[in-house]
Amino acid sequence: MRQDGSAAWAAVMALAGRPGAAAIRARIEADPGRPAALTRRAAGLVADFSRTSLTAEVLDALLDLARAQGVLAFRDAMAAGAAVNDTEGRAALHLALRAPPGSFRTGDEDASADVQATLGAMRGFVAAVHDGRIRGATGETFTDVVNIGIGGSDLGPAMVTRALWRHGAPMRAHYLANVDAHAWEEIRPRLDPARTLVLVASKTFTTQETMANARLVKAWLDAALGAGSGAHLAALSTNLKATAAFGIAPDRVFGFRDWVGGRFSLWSAIGLSIALACGWDAFAGLHAGAREMDEHFLSAPEAGNLPLLLAATEIWHVNGLGYPTRAVLAYDERLSRLAAHFQQLEMESLGKRVTMEGAPVGRATGPVVFGEPGTNSQHSFFQLIHQGTTPVPVDFVLVARPDHAHAESHRILLANGLAQAKALAFGRTEAEARAEMQAAGMSAAEVDRLAPHRVFPGDRPSVTILLPALTPRALGALVALYEHKVACLGAFWGINPFDQFGVELGKVLAGRILPALEGSAAAPDAATAAMIAELRALWT
């Protein structure tokens, strides 16, 4: 699949080492046609790369690297159902989750047909809940759904529901992830047990945090409803024995296969809370947008392939220019959880230090991803992004048309997003800062004193992604874009983007430390023992 990419890597690094390789302002000022040349469109989205330091020569080198590293060959193997998750011997067929029957296979299995069967069962369940054929133990219709899960069983569905839920939607959704019971106590007073449907989302039905929360919530239902609490439960799991033992009827269990990774799973049964809260049409629209981006990814030429270009840009920033972080800034309050979902999607996938063959990678891999909605974030960490010592590339996500009638507010919002992208790219020179202060009537001494503080270095990269409106279809395309970017980056770096062994060690150790906290076993080391002693002293 991969060639010897050393020459291609060397070519990219040589370009990155040239004087002015990171320059952005000068390139924009010198070439009025740059925005048109560096804008790409796919699945209704518009992506503008002009405020990066990419050039035609750099793009050519990055695409040469993609070919040498077998990036699109990896894409094709993934789509063919090959075991691209080689450490676990599994396919990674999240594309099948939004495809018609017959589209994707893994071995002898029609993966898409299996998905459609589950989606059909989900659709029937959602319809029955919404029209009142499925009711609670006291005969009340369900008004609220609580999704109990963690990681991929929480972040994606919570983000989507926050983005797509509108007043008048079928149900209200609540997401319980943290094992800290304060999370449950914050949700509980807003719920009526007689009208609450609970989804327990755990493939194995053994996830420690999820099952602890499930027991809490079930005890609450039992106290209010007695033996009828089972009518309020459903599971997103494959462990039928464990779900039955928990009191969940088999026809209330919706499964998904091991070729669906958690952080790629919101399109599967894990998305049941989305369909219940926002309606089946919204869930179907989400799938349609993702499918449109899938088709683009699988067929678009390299130079116009948006997921590939987004990944190549990240290679340029992380490996070429040495930028170890990236901010995701959505200028839409409804996308307040977008950065959190992308953080898991990328950092859990790409935080790897060895190649697929088990050798040290030898170069930086996944950057730190963080973010908050604009304009709030402008009054938070933007100081560092504008004037800190290390540039932080930014993904700006803008939505052209709002769902409200407050046109002035939306124009202000968009003006801020565009202004931040311009400020990062262009900065403000000392001469410009001095001229502004002089025009404001400051004294020469004051200008001299403040000038260094008012310089913005500029040449700080950003990509702007524009959605026509925050519809299910547009959001589906956006999320699928980043999923495919992750697959491309895995291939660029020669790492497995579909396993996550890094989450396991802490879970194993927590299981060993819990008995020590309870006083029934010794702590595993001196530092832990000391802190347990402090805790136990405060409990007495």
Instruction: Give the integer Cα–Cα distance in Å for 230 and 402.
Output: 41
Cross-strand bridge partners of residue 465: 47, 397
Which H or E run includes 401?
A: strand 394-401
Closest by CA to 45, choosing from 400, 415, 425, is: 400
**Active site includes 241?**
no
Helical axes 111-131 vs 280-299, angle rounded to 10° = 160
Decide if 413 contacts 459 (C-beta within 8 A).
Answer: no
Rg (CA), the chain: 25
Q: What is the pLDDT of residue 4?
A: 76
**Active site includes 534?**
no
**Active site includes 446?**
no
Instruction: Give the integer Cα–Cα distance in Å for 146 and 149.
Output: 10
Q: Which two tokens stand for residue 384?
A: 């560092």
- pTM for this model (two decimals): 0.97
Decide if 460 contacts 386 (C-beta within 8 A).
Answer: yes
Decide if 23 contacts 89 (C-beta within 8 A).
Answer: no
Decide if 104 contacts 93 (C-beta within 8 A).
Answer: yes
Instruction: Give the integer Cα–Cα distance in Å for 199 and 213.
Output: 11
Torsion of CA 453, 455, 458, 462, to 10 degrees: 50
User: CB-hemisphere CA count at 13 Å for 492?
Assistant: 32
- Residues 240, 242, 245, 251, CA torsion sign: negative
Closest by CA to 164, choosing from 328, 45, 337, is: 337
Closest by CA to 123, choosing from 256, 271, 289, 233, is: 271
- Residue-wise pLDDT tens for the chain (540 aa)? 566 799 999 999 999 999 999 999 999 999 999 999 999 999 999 999 999 999 999 999 999 999 999 999 999 999 999 999 999 999 999 999 999 988 998 888 899 888 999 999 999 999 999 999 999 999 999 999 999 999 999 999 999 999 999 999 999 999 999 999 999 999 999 999 999 999 999 999 999 999 999 999 999 999 999 999 999 999 999 999 999 999 999 999 999 998 999 999 999 999 999 999 999 999 999 999 999 999 999 999 999 999 999 999 999 999 999 999 999 999 999 999 999 999 999 999 999 999 999 999 999 999 999 999 999 999 999 999 999 999 999 999 999 999 999 999 999 999 999 999 999 999 999 999 999 999 999 999 999 999 999 999 999 999 999 999 999 999 999 999 999 999 999 999 999 999 999 988 998 999 999 999 999 999 999 999 999 999 999 998
Q: What is the pLDDT of residue 107?
A: 85
- Determine the straight-line distance between the first and last CA of the chain, rounded to whole angstroms: 61
Instruction: Give the integer Cα–Cα distance in Å for 142 and 134.
Output: 8
Q: Which two tokens stand for residue 414?
A: 């968009």
CA 483: distance to chain centroid? 8
Select which of 167, 182, 241, 379 is catalytic.
379
Q: Which two tokens stand for residue 512?
A: 């060993």
Q: What is the pLDDT of residue 540?
A: 86
Instruction: Give the integer Cα–Cα distance in Å for 125 and 272.
Output: 9
Closest by CA to 262, choosing from 397, 131, 92, is: 92
229 phi-psi bin (left φ>0, alpha ψ -120 to 50, beta other): alpha
Select which of 57, 430, 504, 507 is catalytic.
507
493 phi-psi bin (left φ>0, alpha ψ -120 to 50, beta other): alpha
Select which of 209, 292, 314, 348 is catalytic.
348
Rounded to 5 degrees, φ, ψ at 40 are -125, 155
Which H or E run includes 487?
A: helix 472-493
Closest by CA to 198, choosing from 309, 302, 91, 272, is: 272
Q: What is the pLDDT of residue 2?
A: 61
Q: Compute how many other C-beta atoms are within 10 angstroms of the C-beta atom of residue 381.
A: 16
